Amino acid sequence: MSLTSPALAGKLAGLQSSAIRDLLKLTARPEIISLAGGLPDAALMPGERIAAAAEAALRDPAVLQYTESPGWPALRAVIAERASAKIGRSVPVGEVFITHGSQQALSLLAEVLLDPGALVVVEDPAYVGALQVFRAAGARIVAVPLDADGLRVDVLEELLAAGERPAVVHTVANFHNPGGVTLAPERRRRLAELAEAHGFWVIEDDPYGELWFDQPAPAPVASYSPQVIRLSSVSKILAPALRVGWLIAPEKVCRAVELLKQGADLCGSALTHQITTDLLTDTDWLTAHVDTIRAAYGTRARALVAALRTTFADRVHCTDPTGGMFIWADFTDGTNASTLLPTALEAGVAYVPGAAFAVTDAYQTSMRLCFTTSDEPTLTEAVHRLARAATTSA
């Protein structure tokens, strides 16, 4: 009998469990108002409409069968049509690949596009799920900061001028998680130009684009170049449980993703693919449904921003998002958001400290606040609790 326990792969050494997932466990207590989770509001998910679509779908035995690895053909056709309208060119079905949420698209793309040690440029603060994927792929990660207009494309240009050669630049151009900001149109165009000039892929990770409050998000980065791979999903407009996401990429990328998808899970679920097809093609219903989410989140975002400004005045600076699910807030007096968290939990409010999303900058005084799952009075109460915690700890 061997006394040495078998080893795990060396590439796992740098991986940590997601700080957000660990924290979510703590914030499930009912007395805590959680601005931490980053979840869409389940009360706004169309359960009955999904049930009706499921019942109709199940009349076709094909939905219980394995489907094609790139996805249920009817769903690929709908996504191709929607993507064509969004990107402004005709997207063939061969450029559409359905994945198990857009997270799987990220993970498969990392395998397809990155050799170990390849350079990946991410945003700082970053989407933690992307960081995990790129770290697991053994990439070298360099961060470029965000400002109010999104990714600092000028800083990326400096890196390129200094000789850095990224394989991939990852951006959450719309309503950033966690930064709450949106990439300005001029920067989108420039980013696509740089991708073509320097031969790198851009991954435009866009799960939040439909969640605009007053006006639609700017034209996608992908509308400026075919070197931009677009990712999206129905998690934020229908339900995360469907696990339907997709990537739009040149066919050679889709063919490589297909080989890996076969190894990962053979194919997605034809049942949830058909349910999603039904809902996405019921366009009047869909428009009304997404409008309801936009209106609710817009009202909640405005209430949270107003409560922060009234309660903290200059002591907290926050983004004023035009869509999405998040506000990024900074204590201007140096309060450390990580060390404040236990006091805040005692006061009955949870958030995610900025440090959880940090790549280069430490973001010690920052926090991500998610406004989707609480109504306006609850958000105001959350801010009062945060103020009490910040006063106690001062």
Residues that bind ligand PMP (CB under 6 A): 38, 101-103, 127, 129, 172, 177, 205, 207, 233, 235, 240, 245
Q: How far is the CB of 241 from ligand PMP (least distance, A)?
A: 9
CB-count burial class (<10 Å; 0-12, 13-18, 19+) for 16:
exposed
The residue among 44 and 160 lying less far from ligand PMP, judged by its C-beta, is 44
Q: How far is the CB of 237 from ligand PMP (least distance, A)?
A: 11
**Of all residues in this chain, which one has the CB nearest to ligand PMP in the complex?**
101
Contacts of residue 277, defined as CB under 8 A and 6 or more positions apart, other chains included, come to: 72, 74, 75, 78
The residue among 177 and 335 lying less far from ligand PMP, judged by its C-beta, is 177
Of 40, 19, 37, the closest CA to residue 28 belongs to 37
Q: How far is the CB of 384 from ligand PMP (least distance, A)?
A: 28
Of 149, 128, 152, 131, the closest CA to residue 140 belongs to 131
The residue among 63 and 239 lying less far from ligand PMP, judged by its C-beta, is 239
The residue among 37 and 166 lying less far from ligand PMP, judged by its C-beta, is 37
Q: How far is the CB of 226 from ligand PMP (least distance, A)?
A: 21
For tokens 């428009």, name the residue.
287
**Per-residue CA distances from 62 to 57, 97, 174 (Å):** 9, 19, 36
**Calpha distance 239→50 (Å, rounded):** 9
Q: How far is the CB of 276 from ligand PMP (least distance, A)?
A: 12
Q: Are strands 201-205 and 228-233 parallel, antiparallel or unpaired?
A: parallel
Q: How far is the CB of 234 from ligand PMP (least distance, A)?
A: 8
The residue among 36 and 316 lying less far from ligand PMP, judged by its C-beta, is 36
Q: How far is the CB of 318 from ligand PMP (least distance, A)?
A: 19
The residue among 335 and 372 lying less far from ligand PMP, judged by its C-beta, is 372
**Calpha distance 177→130 (Å, rounded):** 11
Backbone angles phi, psi at 146, to 5 degrees: -100, 155
Counting Cα atoms < 13 Å in the Cβ hemisphere of 42 gives 3
The residue among 46 and 348 lying less far from ligand PMP, judged by its C-beta, is 46
Contacts of residue 114, defined as CB under 8 A and 6 or more positions apart, other chains included, come to: 120, 134, 137, 138, 139, 167, 168
What is residue 15's three-state secondary structure? coil
